[in-house]
Structure formats: C-alpha cells, structure tokens
Structure 1
C-alpha cells in the first residue's frame, strides 16, 4: 500500500489548526505529521519531521509564514519542502511575496474542505496549485507593484506558441482550459508547459506566473 501523505499544519489560531488536522486525519491517504503556531517552530519541525507538505499560514508570530516558506522552499535550499500557503487573501498584503518565497500552492482559508484536501494532494505530487480566481486577484492587486527584472536568455528562447501558453498560465488557466482556448490536446499543452519551465529554469506553474509578471512578459 502507498504510504499516506504526511502533512505539517502551521497556523497561529488553535481553532483553525484543529479544524485542518481533523479534516486531514479523516482521509485514508493523508496524515498529520505535526502542528505548530509560529514560523520558527514550523521550520524546525519541517526540517526534523520531513513532511510531504507543509500547510502554512502567512501571519504568524516569531517568524512569519513568508520567511518560514523561504527557509524551507526558497532558492538555494538543499532539500526544499513543498509548502501550501493557506491564508486570508483579502487581508493579506504579502501573498505575492509568499509565492516568490517558494510556495507551491495557495488557497484562501474560507475555501471548502475539499479544496484544501485537493490542494494538499496536488502539491504532494510535485504539481503546483494556484486557483484561477486567486491568480486573477493576485495579479490585479500586485501586478502594478512588481518591478520588472532584467531580461534573461531563457525567455528569448520561447517560441511564439510557448509565449502564448505562458500568457494563459499567467491568466490563471489550467491545462484543460489552455487546451480548449488554443484548440490543442491536453498532452500537447502539458508538453508546452514542461518546455517553458525547462527553458526558464522554473520549478512549477506558480513560479511561471510570478516570472511572467516579474519580467514584463504580460501586463
């Protein structure tokens, strides 16, 4: 039998932690490896317990979720941990930074339990999770603040078709939605996405969204 996905739950509100752990532990393919209420403990536990996924709040004491995510999944981390950020989007002005810090996915706290479970399973497989509506909110709120970065050799290697796919990724479309929009097969879109990530040296779709806006490829 396949071992269950081990999850570390990090949130400074005990009631929310209890809710998350109860939902997660009720699933036969998931289990809670630990829980904590601040970012410093989150980093310590994640490094010791090596969970498959860390469910991370952003606003936490001692060390916030952004810095904790950077320490666990940021550039240069030898053994990065997959982090799923779950927070109150409309009140949080640091979501974009959390994604740049290396988070593999993002959900709002008022999402249905099924979305949380789907998010954990998705991130655990190595895929990224950024719901289309969240992407659009994120871009709408933060795009004007993102300073353009210098061009890189990678983006000049993108074909017009790959650039079009990148635009649609940045708009928050899933592979299926991109396939329908461009009248392509799902497998063809997956191939385009893989090529884009390889050429730009990106880990996942979340980084592709950030990259697209950071480098002014979309507006």
Structure 2
C-alpha cells in the first residue's frame, strides 16, 4: 500500500514542477484570500494546465459559496475539493451533489472531543483530512505549522481513507504515519522558507522522507 503525498499551497510554476517531478500524488491550490498562498483564478488556470494529469489537483476552499466554487471548478478543473472551513454535514453533501466531485472534509483536532463529528462527515465525504485546530483569533484555519497529537487517531475505526496534516516536515512525517496509520500526508508550511514561499529542496526532502515511510505501512 502506497502513501498518498499532497503538497498544498503551491503558487509558482517552479515549485509545482518540483512537486510533480518529485512524485507528489496530489497538488493543492488555495482559494482563500487571508492565506499567503491564495491564488487568483488566472494563476490557478495557468498552474492547472501544467499538471497535465501527473497528479490529482485539489482545490482548497474555506466556507465558499456556490458561485465561488463554480468559478474555481471551471477554472482549475480539480479532481478533489478540500473543504477546510466550518461546512456542515448538509453543506458537504450539497457540494458533492452540485459539483459531482469527490470531497475531502477537514476535521480540526485538538482533543478527542473534536472527533465526535467524524461519523457524520464520514457518511458524506469521500476522504477525511485531520489538521491541527487553529488557535483562537487566527485568520485562517490551517497552514499555520501547528502539530496535533497523532495519538488521538491511534484507535480510530474509520473505513474512509484519511490523511494527516499540521506542522508536518521531513523530520516528523515518519512518526506521524507510524502513530496515526494515515494513508496520506499533506504539507504546506513545512516545505516553505517563509509563509507562502515554497522551497524546492524542502519539497523534494519531504516527498523523499514520506516515501521512506511506506515500508512502515506494510509491516
């Protein structure tokens, strides 16, 4: 079983090409103006064309309305929608139905109580992404470099595919996979030299380290 590796928040052709050449399975594009990784539709169109089927394109949105989602879907033509806000179970269901695309719902985690909503979301989403809960007052829900306690996922009984994110880097990705038993990892700030600025070498190092954990998954 291979580990899915997602590089999120890509915004330049150089770093996108680096991620693709290094073997990323998913490449994420952020459509949320408070984020330093936010893309215009024009840039998203250009980068989307560069992917050419080499990885799955993921559109990250935060509580986006239908009109915004429609523009993103028409422009990027993503394979997956990542819902990173406070979307309700009903909203996730409606988005799937309206856009006929797989949906990955993000669950913010700080304590075990945060997993209470998981069964409901798992009943409508195609994939779950566990991320660290943003601190109060944060202007965005993710991409902050915060790590959550992966042990909270140790006894998770989830039939749906799931990924982990939040403060991952080449140094800790193996431990994250070992503890959480996640089938995928998602990184953004952990491959940046400054907020929103991806570093090609860090991207390569992260994907190399993530691939090295695959043998842990088959033991």
TM bracket, shorter-chain basis: 0.3 to 0.5
**More strand by percentage:** 2
Higher relative contact order (CA 8 A, sep 6+): 2
Query: Normalization by structure 1: what TM-score?
Result: 0.35
| Structure exhibiting the larger radius of gyration computed from Cα positions | 1
Query: Normalization by structure 2: what TM-score?
Result: 0.35
